[in-house]
Every structure is written in structure tokens, then in C-alpha cells.
Amino acid sequence: MHASRNLQLYSIIFLFLSTFAAAWPWPRWLPELDSLIVRQDSGNSTTVASTTSGAKETAKTSKSFVPTPTKTLVSAGVTTTMYATEAPSTTAGSNANKTTVADHTSYDPRLPAGGVEMLTPAAISGQQYFKIGDYVTFGWNYTSLEATPTAVNVMATCTQNQQLYTIAANVTVANETNAVTWDTGAYQQTAVTDPLLTDIYTLIIYDAASSISAEAQAGYLAVQDTYTFGMYVPQAYTPLADFICATCSGALGPLERQALGMMFGMCVLTVLSFGWFVNGLGVIW
């Protein structure tokens, strides 16, 4: 009971002192209140925020720009999509933006990609071979084209050395048919590191404005690499009198010798058996 009274007394005294201290003015002999509490400098935070925002904007504009469609027009089943080819550029002290726009026509994806149909050499059954040193002409016409290319590149590749040979570059497309002539003799005379070999070749035709590995698009010429042909190096002429057949021989072969031996053995066996039969039975007397 006594302890409880002492606790109440101490509480009353503590409350009185707290109220007195709160109402009492700040003593002059203590340091100034402003020197103990650091105020926030709003000017520095504004500068830092502005600097951070500018850095983010610079990083955003410095990233590689990916073209995005800006406008799509549909007319007579053909869709024309407008693509932005240059990112907007902002110059200090100017708010002007510069954007370059190019047209790319997209066709119905259900349409096939453009191709070629070989006319020369004429389509025949089996592989066709050409002698290295002759003129070789390739002719074709275009099929399923909605957008005709301005020019095409004609190449040939060899399966043995994976070499790519240029037959003609930037061949202008004037109509539905095209033809190029390859002087293999002139090429072989100047080819030192990559001569033509006796092997199978693949003819490659593709849009000169595109690439040899471009993906096919509806209405546009796809890379054509289905026609194959053979080429061979001719042997030097040898007179008939001097000709020697490496696989020919005047001697009898093993099979021929076995056949003759079997025939001779059968003849001897027949004569002996017939003589024994005649003499044994007394057919001849």
C-alpha cells in the first residue's frame, strides 16, 4: 500500500516537471535549435531529379530504333504499311522531331512467293551436264510475282567445295523472261584459287535488292535454288593408235577360264562314260 502511494506521488511529480519543461522557453546558454536540426535542401533534390530524368531520356533515345508501323492502308486486297525508318531526334534548344517514312507493300499472306520456271536448258528427265569451256545459257520466266524486282543476281554453287560462282550480277528485269550466258572457258582461264570442278552445281537466282539468305514473302521473288546441273572437264584428244584402255586386256578373265575348264571336263567325262557303257554291255561286237 505504501509502495503504491509512492508510485502515484512520483507519477504526479514527473507529469508536473514535463509540463513545466514544455512551457519553459529555450535556454540561451544552449546551442541554437536550428543548428541541431538539419533542414532539407529542396534545391539539390530538384537538380538531382532533373539530372536523373535527363540521363534516362538520353539512354532511351540512344537505344537502337526498331521500325514500327505507323499507318496501314487497305485497297483492292493489297495492304500498304507505313514504317518509320529513323528514330525522332531532339536537338538542344529545339523541340523539332525528324522522322523518315518509307513504303513497303504487304500482300495477302495466302498468296505464294514469286518463283522462276526454267526454259533453257529445256526440262528433260535426268541430270544435264555441260562441258567446262563452253558457253552455258540459262533462261527462265517469273511466276506468281506481285512485285517485280528491278534486278536479280545469278549465282552457281558447287557441292564439292561449297564455292559460290557469280554468273551475272544486277541483271535488269525488263519483262517476264530473263536469260544469261556463262562463258565457262573465260572464267576457267582466269580462275586460279577457285576453278570449276567436275561436279554437280546448283543455280541460284535472287532479288539483287535482297540477300541470298532472305526469307520468302508473299508476292515477292523468293531465293531460287532448286535447279541443279553437272559440269565436267574434258580429256585431251588421243589418237586411236595411241589409245590404251586401262581396263581392257587380251587375256582371259577368271570367269572365262572357269567356264572353259568346266566345258573341257564335261567333254572328257562324257566320252569316258559313253565308252564304258558301250564296252560293258557289248553293244558293239
- Is residue 76 one of the residues assigned to a domain? yes
Indicate the number of domains in the chain: 2
Among the ranges given (23-32, 64-73, 158-167, 267-276), the one the predictor scored with the smallest mean pLDDT: 64-73
Do 122 and 218 lie in a common domain? yes
Tell me the pLDDT tens digit for each residue of 167-188: 999 999 988 899 999 999 999 9
Q: Is pLDDT larger for residue 191 or for residue 30?
A: 191
- Is residue 262 one of the residues assigned to a domain? no
Which of 169, 233, 235, 160 has the alpha carbon at shortest distance from 201?
160
Tell me which of 66, 81, 106 is where a domain ends.
Answer: 106
- Is residue 123 one of the residues assigned to a domain? yes
**What pLDDT does residue 198 have?**
94
- Is residue 272 one of the residues assigned to a domain? no
b (16+ CB within 10 A) / e for 259-284? eeeeeeeeeeeeeeeeeeeeeeeeee
| Whole-number Å distance between alpha carbons of 12 and 23 | 17
Domain that holds residue 128: 115-232
Do 120 and 92 lie in a common domain? no
Domain of residue 153, CATH code = 2.60.40.2840
- Is residue 194 one of the residues assigned to a domain? yes
Do 91 and 184 lie in a common domain? no
Among the ranges given (7-21, 72-86, 174-188), the one the predictor scored with the smallest mean pLDDT: 72-86
Task: Decide if 140 contacts 152 (C-beta within 8 A).
Answer: no
